[in-house]
Amino acid sequence: MASGIAAWRGFSPTSVRIAFALLTVFTSGDGSALYVAAWLFIPARGEDHSIGARALKDAKGIALAIGLATLLTIVLLIAGVFNDGWFAGWAWPQVFSLAGLTLIWRNGDPDEQASLKRLVEPLEAAATGGRENMKWAAIRVLAAGVLLITGVSILATSHESLALLRPLGAIALVVAAIVLFLGPWWLRIGRDLVAERQARIRTEERAKEREEIASRVHDSVLQTLALIQRRAEDPQKVVQLARLQERELRDWLFGGKVPGDTSAETFAAAVRQVQSDVESRYGVPVEVVTVGDCELDENLSALVAAAREATINAAKWSGASVISLFAETEAGAASVVVRDRGQGFDPEQVPADRKGLTESIHGRMARRGGTATVTSATGEGTKVSLSMPRAESTASPA
């Protein structure tokens, strides 16, 4: 509203508001009446008619305004009888303001009605007790009323008696009354604000969690699905991708392992690592079963390395559609069996310059006291059994 006058006369809204406030103080209330009058009769920016013009057609509103103004006048007149002369100085602006605000409330636009409602709400809340228990509300209002009456009566009588300290005490009492009267409402607003902020923080945390999951699903599942769509004509590749994704998802869901984390700390995890490496490099599914588990030491690392070699051999040469990888941890030893149903070979006929079998498997195992047995016959598949004694008995019965 102040900005309206400012725009109309060319001043800044702030200076207009300050002028009105000063006017109100110096004229004991006439300023507020002037403000309401301006609100009524100056059209808001972007509108053709002032609220006052609309109010003229609102007979009911005018009746209400006159009624309320009359009521207030009577109340003030009665007060004036007990306090001669006081009425004349203060009452007219108030009566006019009340009537004006009533008209504005009925004819203003929704924004103005909302701001008026906010002005009225604490009074309503005080009257009805808001959400409080009725008994407490009654006590509160009563206390506020007593304080208010005491304060006002001291104020009213202070101009006759010249005790300087009494007005100060009276003001304190009035302030206390206001606090008692409006306190709960302010408190509620404060609580609502705090609750709103906490809700916002919780929402943000949840959003962050969701983002994290979304990014993981994107990095793994969605990428894989995209790949599968592009490789749809290659069933082998599709199966391989699906298996890779299944394993990664299973590790994440049941093992708590972050996708992409490749460091294996236990024997069983190292064996699964072999599985995923061979599947992704050679495209042959590897069925893994692990029984028991324990920490990975040097002996077991050698066992896993030999098993990896055997699995890669099977993937490269056997032509089998699936490779079985079985790893078991027992109290005294750990063993791995790599098996395929591929074409097989005759171990006697392997050329001497092929180092894979002799060095990478037999040699690796023998150096640490383990054994390797290769069973294979042409057309009947291959089975590589590896066994490694365990350095110390720390079998964790998984």
Partner 1 sequence: MNGLGGKPRVVLVDDHGLFRSGVRAELGLRVQVVGEADDVQSAIELITRTEPDVVLLDVHLPSGGGHDVIAAVKARLPEVRFLALSASDAPEDVIAVIRAGARGYVTKTIGTGELADAIERIASGDAVFSHRLAGFVLDAFAAMPPGGGGGGAGAADKPSFDPELDQLTTREREVLRLIAQGYTYKEIAKELFISVKTVETHVSSVLRKLQLSTRHQLTRWATERRLA
Q: For 396, which DSSP code?
A: B
DSSP codes, 314-375: IIIII--S-EEEEEEE-SSEEEEEEEE-S----GGGS-TT-HIIIIIIIIHHHHTT-EEEEE
Q: Within 129-261, where are the H helices?
A: 134-158, 165-217, 223-230, 235-255
Give the distance from CA 293 to its chain's centroid: 40
Nearest distance, CB of residue 337 and partner 1, angstroms: 5
Beta bridge partners of 333: 389
Nearest distance, CB of residue 3 and partner 1, angstroms: 60
Nearest distance, CB of residue 253 and partner 1, angstroms: 7
Nearest distance, CB of residue 210 and partner 1, angstroms: 22
Nearest distance, CB of residue 106 and partner 1, angstroms: 57
Nearer to partner 1, 171 or 331 (CB): 331
Q: What angle do CA 194, 200, 203 make, to 5 degrees?
A: 145
Nearer to partner 1, 98 or 322 (CB): 322
Q: Are 153 and 174 in contact (CB under 8 A)?
A: no
Nearer to partner 1, 143 or 217 (CB): 217
Helix orientation angle between 165-217 and 110-128, rounded to the nearest 10 degrees: 110
Which among 113, 142, 148, 146 is positioned nearest to 129, based on CA atoms?
142
Phi-psi region of 257 (alpha: psi -120 to 50; beta: other; left: phi over 0): beta
Cα dihedral 129/133/138/144 (nearest 10): -70
Query: Pairing state of beta strands 286-291 and 371-376?
Result: unpaired
Nearer to partner 1, 6 or 249 (CB): 249
Nearest distance, CB of residue 331 and partner 1, angstroms: 7
Nearest distance, CB of residue 261 and partner 1, angstroms: 17
Residues making contact with partner 1 (CB under 8 A)? 246, 249-250, 253-254, 287, 289-292, 322, 324, 326, 328-331, 337, 339, 341, 383, 397-398
